[in-house]
Structures are given as C-alpha cells and as structure tokens.
Amino acid sequence: MAHTQGTVYQATWGKRDTQLILPTNSSLSVTLSQDHLRSLTTARCITDARPDARDRLWLNGDEEEIKEGGRTARCLEEMRALRRKVESSDPSLPPLSTHPLHIASENNFPTAAGLASSASGLSALIATLARLYALDDAHGVSTSDLSRIARQGSGSACRSMFGGYVAWEQGERADGLDSVAVEVAPASHWPDLHALILVVSDKKKGTPSTAGMQRTVATSALLEHRIKHVVPARMERISRAILARDFDAFAQETMADSNQFHAVCLDTAPPIFYLNDTSRAIMQLVAELNRASGRALAAYTYDAGPNAVLYVQEKDVRTVLDVVLRYFPQTRASFPDPFGTGASPTGESQVG
C-alpha cells in the first residue's frame, strides 16, 4: 500500500520524448501530506494463476485496460526486471517476478480533473510494487531508481515519489538517465505553508494531459518562449523563495507560472481550455484579496484542470477560507472542518 499526492505548481507541459517521458523544461511541485488527499493502492501476486491469467488493474472500482506497450505496462515490466535481478542475487527470495499482478487503486479526490491524479496514482503504484517486490536500499534499489520508472508511467509521478518540495530536472541525455527528481526541501522545511484545494468541478477533463501536451508542443510558439526565456530563471527564483520561506516571492512566481501555463494552453491549436468561469473568479478574488491586504495572503495555481490549489500561510488560512466561502457558498461539506470546530462547513476546500 502507498499513498501519495503531488500537486504541481509549476506545470510540466511539453515532452521532448513521449516514450521515455522526457520533458521540454524543468519543473517543481509540492507533494501534499497523505493525511487528506491520497491514492491508496494494493497489489497482489497471483501465485495460483491459470495459464491465461494476466496483469489486471482496477481504478476506483472499475477495471482499466493495461494496454500492451502502454505506460502502465512499461512500469510493470521495469519493476519485474528489477525484481528478477534481486531474485537472481538472492535465491532465498520467492520467484514473484513470474506471477501476474492484480492491482487495485482508489483516489479519494477527483480523478483526471487537474489535481494530479496521474502523478499520485503512478507514484503510489510504483511505491506499492517496490514494497511487494522488496525493491529497497537493502537490495540495491534507491528511491531515485524508482522515480525514474515512475516517470515513464506519468512524468510528474517522478516528483511525487519524494515528499516536500521536489524539482524535476529536465536533463539532456537521450536515454533520460539525467532526467530525475530531486528534493529541494523536505516537507518539514515550511510547516507553515498550507494548501487549500478548491474543487470547482470533479468531472473528467475534456483533454487528457498527454494529448494536450503533444498538441501544445506541435503548435504553440509561446511554449518555445516559455521554455527558453522564462522557466530557467523561474526555477531559480522559486527554489530560492522556498528555501528562504519567502511567501511573497513564492506567491508571485506561482501565480505567474500558472497564468503562463494556461496562456500556453490557449496558444495551442486548437486551443485547450482548462480553466472555467469559476476558476477565473477565484483568481480574481485572490488578486483582489492580496491587493487589499497590501501583501500576498494566498497564491493560486491551476494544473491541467479547473480546480484551484491555494497556497496560504497558516496565520491567514482562516481569513482566506472565510472569504472563499463568502463568495462561493458551499451546499455540502465533504471534508471535516480543518480546525475541528465543526462550526463552518468547509465544503470541498481542504487544508493539506
């Protein structure tokens, strides 16, 4: 079992190699605490399998096809190959690598709606198989090795193998060995920083991330500009802001990057719209709140979907939640009040 959730605030959008999943630019994300949003994945080796038994995967209760040569299949292959290596070096281990796998996973947050379920789900899958197969430091397998495999399942999953603030360095090699996730700071570095998840819509998005990205790479001139002239310096600034716990700088970079990412989506032909009117109203509300306060109270960011992630310092969580709930009244509370007062429903906003 494993649970991980990665929320991207600097979008990885664009791949230079779609097989190995090598990105056109570096990126950075925050892995949220597993207490709130998570993928819960269970894997089992079918040791008494019939000859026609095969690998199977259930996602949120429905079976998903594992396409031959597809990404999930490639991840399973790579994990089996590592297990085979470990088995051949330690004959006391049972030959698990020969058995079919049955895998079940459940996300407790919307799937394919721009809250990084692919990053969460694929990193949980790799972490789960690593545990089942005993692929750990004791057997010569590092988290970085696992992260490289997770990357081939879903690019952003390479970051979510680590906790805290994680960069994905694009790398230069054609084989992708230097396209790796590295921790910028552990989660404990900035305990004061909270993420409020505002679920605007839990519907599956119209354009899946992979298809959208390929279209952007093929058609957007703005993406070229972003990759060459914006992202490298922004990676530096955002890493510095995190290390210095400089919320104002962090907020400025985060919102600017989200805006440019969605501008790139609009610059794609045909255009991709991930934000909706509610998303944009939240952006305006945050901008107005920050302006009226004379400092950044909240920073919004949207990945490939309409749902907002608001970063807020602990001292401002109550204020920001009050304002959000005033403008977007909730009809049902699907999460408990994060302050445990039970007084005001938090709707689908969530402190992570």
Chain contacts with ligand ADP (rule: CB under 6 A): 39, 59, 105, 107, 111-118, 121-122, 124-125, 208-209, 303-305
We find the least distance from the C-beta atom of residue 268 to ligand ADP, in angstroms, to be 15
Contact 121, 39 (CB under 8 A): yes
We find the least distance from the C-beta atom of residue 60 to ligand ADP, in angstroms, to be 8
We find the least distance from the C-beta atom of residue 213 to ligand ADP, in angstroms, to be 9
When the beta carbons of 24 and 209 are compared against Co ion, the nearer one is 209
We find the least distance from the C-beta atom of residue 303 to ligand ADP, in angstroms, to be 6
Q: Is 207 in a helix, a strand, or coil?
A: coil
When the beta carbons of 57 and 241 are compared against ligand ADP, the nearer one is 57
Asked whether position 160 contacts Co ion by CB under 5 A, the answer is: no
We find the least distance from the C-beta atom of residue 269 to Co ion, in angstroms, to be 22
When the beta carbons of 54 and 173 are compared against ligand ADP, the nearer one is 54
Interface with Co ion (CB under 5 A), residue from 31, 72, 209, 216: 209
Residue ranges of the alpha helices (H) in the chain?
71-89, 117-132, 143-153, 157-160, 209-219, 221-225, 231-243, 247-266, 277-293, 317-327
When the beta carbons of 29 and 349 are compared against ligand ADP, the nearer one is 29
DSSP structural state of residue 351 = B
We find the least distance from the C-beta atom of residue 120 to Co ion, in angstroms, to be 9
Contact 223, 13 (CB under 8 A): yes
Q: Is 49 in a helix, a strand, or coil?
A: coil
Q: Which amino acid is at 61?
A: G
When the beta carbons of 41 and 179 are compared against ligand ADP, the nearer one is 41
When the beta carbons of 118 and 179 are compared against ligand ADP, the nearer one is 118
Q: Which does 186 bind (CB under 5 to 8 A by kind): ligand ADP, Co ion, none?
A: none
- Number of residues counted as binding Co ion (CB under 5 A): 2
Interface with Co ion (CB under 5 A), residue from 27, 29, 105, 118: 118
Short-list 221, 204, 208, CA closest to 269: 221
Contact 287, 279 (CB under 8 A): no
Sort residue 340 into left (φ over 0), alpha (ψ -120 to 50) or beta.
left
Asked whether position 207 contacts Co ion by CB under 5 A, the answer is: no
The CA-based dihedral angle spanning residues 34, 184, 230, 278, taken in that order and rounded to the nearest 10 degrees: 20
Integer Rg of the chain from CA = 21
We find the least distance from the C-beta atom of residue 341 to ligand ADP, in angstroms, to be 31
What's the Cα-to-Cα distance from 323 to each of 297, 298, 312, 318, rounded to whole Å?
11, 11, 13, 9
| Residues within the interface to Co ion (CB under 5 A) | 118, 209
